[in-house]
């Protein structure tokens, strides 16, 4: 058996570059998926699918904008803090959401999209 050799610096650099390219490709694909879903929601088409939690986090868009039609308020939820499997769809989170400000039988909230920052923070940053 031939003794194993330590990879050369060029081998290590090449491996790093391949890994970095794969990470970038996964990120770009995740961003594309989340942007398609956000576009479908904002067009009022009510998407028939939703990205996974892992996809949203990988895309760098972990803030879910949720609207309550009962009290007409919006809240941002950081999906990284939820105890859900990463392969669960973002749409499946809707079943566990209820508005804490609406009394009694609150209506089902609406998902408005995924964002890199809480939607209110994004509005403040663009105006200031």
Question: What is the model's pLDDT at position 63?
Answer: 97
Q: Which two tokens stand for residue 81?
A: 């803090």
Going by C-alpha positions, the residue among 9, 5, 30 that lies closest to residue 17 is: 9
Distance CA 29, CA 46 (A): 21
Is 65:115 a contact under the CB 8 Å cutoff? yes
Question: What is the model's pLDDT at position 99?
Answer: 82
Put residue 113 in one of left, alpha, beta given phi > 0 → left and psi -120 to 50 → alpha.
Answer: left
Residues of the chain above pLDDT 70, percent: 89
Question: What is the model's pLDDT at position 36?
Answer: 95
| pLDDT higher than 80, residue 72 | yes
Distance CA 113, CA 40 (A): 9
Q: Which two tokens stand for residue 21?
A: 């390219």
Q: What is the mean pLDDT of residues 105-126?
A: 76
Q: Where are the beta strands (DSSP E) in 18-70?
A: 63-68
Of 25-29, 107-111, 121-125, give the lowest mean pLDDT range.
Answer: 121-125
Task: Please state the φ and ψ torsions of residue 89, each to the nearest 5 degrees.
Answer: -75, 150
In this prediction, residue 92 has a pLDDT band, given cuts at 50, 70 and 90, of very high
Is 56:95 a contact under the CB 8 Å cutoff? no
| pLDDT higher than 90, residue 85 | yes
């Amino acid at each position: 058996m031939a003794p194993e050799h330590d990879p050369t610096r060029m081998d290590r650099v090449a491996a790093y570059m391949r890994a970095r390219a794969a990470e970038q490709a996964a990120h770009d694909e995740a961003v594309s998926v989340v942007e398609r879903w956000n576009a479908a929601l904002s067009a009022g088409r009510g998407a028939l699918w939703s990205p996974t939690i892992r996809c949203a986090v990988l895309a760098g868009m972990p803030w879910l904008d949720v609207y309550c039609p009962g009290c007409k308020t919006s809240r941002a939820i950081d999906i990284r803090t939820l105890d859900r499997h990463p392969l669960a769809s973002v749409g499946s989170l809707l079943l566990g959401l209820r508005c804490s400000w609406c009394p009694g039988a609150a209506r089902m909230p609406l998902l408005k999209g995924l964002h890199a920052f809480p939607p209110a923070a994004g509005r403040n940053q663009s105006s200031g």
